[in-house]
Amino acid sequence: MATTTLVAGKLPRSGRIATTATGESAAVRWTLIGIAVLFLALFIFLPLAIVFSQAFEKGVAVYWASLRTPDALAAIRLTLLAAGIAVPLNLVFGVAAAWAIGKFEFVGKSLLITLIDLPFSVSPVVAGLIYVLLFGLQGVLGPWLARHDLQIIFAVPGIVLATIFVTFPSVTSLEKNP
């Protein structure tokens, strides 16, 4: 049953009384909005404020000085390098996969959708273990990689692979029921 709401005690121009889409009273709507805002404040804004307050606890000069340490600069360079490689690869392959899934019917379409959705259901810890079991020294490909002096785990290629694995589903906007 939809409830009716009057604006300033007057009927709308159409002559009909406006109804809310869900039928809840204004008090229920405002209570739910308040709960949502409280949730955001407690679980997003408060931790973020604590992180920033601790980061700037000793002053802005100390914060900027810590960003210029060799370790911090190396971490920033590594992050930018991994993102600079992963984003274009995700863009090309993600758009191609989304286009193929959205426009065509083909054998293996459900397998492709499953592989794309896999990072949503696999824990990052499990994904890391799989990478170690595949590319580690004792892994499936480890001895071959060692013989050819290639390192994937604990190196830039492993970081890029993990980044691509985690972010690829976000690139593909799949239409499950075309």
* Residues 147-172: tens digit of each pLDDT: 999 999 989 999 999 999 988 888 87
* CA-to-CA dists, residue 144 to 62, 67, 134, 150, 162, angstroms: 47, 39, 11, 9, 21
- 170: number of CA atoms within 13 Å, CB side? 8
CB atoms within 10 A of CB 172: 21
Q: Tell me, what's the pLDDT at 151?
A: 93
Q: Which region among 17-21, 135-139, 153-157 has the lowest average model confidence (pLDDT)?
A: 17-21
Global pTM reads 0.66
- Domain extents in the chain: 24-68, 81-178
The yes or no reply on domain 81-178 and CATH 1.10.3720.10 is: yes
Q: Tell me, what's the pLDDT at 159?
A: 94
* Residues 27-76: tens digit of each pLDDT: 888 999 999 999 999 999 999 999 999 989 999 999 899 999 999 999 99
Q: What is the DSSP letter of 4?
A: E
Long-range CB pairs of 130-133, under 8 A, 24+ apart, other chains included = 131/158, 131/161, 131/162
Q: Of residues 19 and 123, which shows the higher confidence score? A: 123
